[in-house]
Structure 1
């Protein structure tokens, strides 16, 4: 139950997955805009299709099963127990 409360708190503060999936950042001026925008309202630059959530997941090792962000040397997901050995070792 505490985990659900923590996720709700993150969402309320603007840092949870739901919020990150609904926002993009302009690559030119850095303006944060709603995911539905195709052009930055501040500078007119065309926006990338990737959301903040997509970009975050590209830059961090995440569990394929539950999406938990992991340490670079993780072998198992601490949240769901999914084995990451093959993914981390490359073999």
Structure 2
């Protein structure tokens, strides 16, 4: 499966900037859906309510997904790769 990688930087409630990627099927083009996936993730890491718009989240590139990421996308529509300051 090829996935679209959305590079995301969100300012946490403590002021640090968290960096994570939202991965979706390459055919998913609806930014609002992608932003909602990011907001679900933020809620899971206790950062609910932080802004997540095109200012914080942008399409980066298309890549081949490893099997575990592909399964996650098929099951829930998206996968998150945590990069910096996610906890």
Q: Which TM class, normalised by the smaller chain length?
A: under 0.3
Q: Which has the higher helix share?
A: 1
Higher strand proportion (structure 1 or 2): 2
The one of the two structures with greater contact order (alpha-carbon pairs below 8 A, sep at least 6) is 2
Which has the larger Rg?
A: 1
